[in-house]
Amino acid sequence: MSATVQQEVNAFLDAWTVDPNNAKAAFSAYREWLAAQPGVSLEFKARPGVSYSLRAVHENQRERPLFVLVDVVDDEPEARWLSVCFYADMVSDPDEAGDFVPQGLMGQDACCLNLEEDDATMRAYIQARLREACAKAAA
């Protein structure tokens, strides 16, 4: 992760003080995992009142600008939650926990998994999809 992206994300996390859904811990864990993956770079886009987006791309990707979009949904800053979106053909959804969104990610079909409350099972499910998408992006 570049120093600039790291500073932007850290400033956002430092300012995030109210977190009844424990989304901050999940976002931080996903960011740390993605940043530790070989060949992965991260971008961060802040749109206060809408979302704070962490975008991961693998150096082997040529056709797509990212393989996952980890959004902190900011429509209610006192109760932020995560929407983690993948290209639909890059992940499985064996528990059918995600929402299929036609043309929902950069104009392509997406599978979005929401973490709207503190749910360890869903956090682990999303982490498994992160591993799956990263492996496909690296291939």
Q: What is the pLDDT along the chain (139 residues), one digit of tens a residue?
A: 788 888 999 999 999 999 999 999 999 999 999 999 999 999 999 999 999 999 999 999 988 999 999 999 999 999 999 999 999 999 999 999 999 999 999 999 999 999 999 999 999 999 999 999 999 999 9
pTM over 0.75: yes
Torsion of Cα atoms, 7 then 37 then 131 then 60, to 10°: 110
First-residue to last-residue Cα distance in the chain: 21
Q: Classify burial at 119, counting beta carbons within 10 Å of its beta carbon; exposed 0-12, middle 13-18, buried 19 or more.
A: middle
* Sign of CA pseudo-dihedral 101, 109, 86, 56: negative
Q: How many structural domains does the chain have?
A: 1
Helix and strand totals (H; E) in the chain:
3, 6
Give the domain extent around 90: 3-138
Rama region for 19: left / alpha / beta (φ>0; ψ in -120 to 50; rest): beta
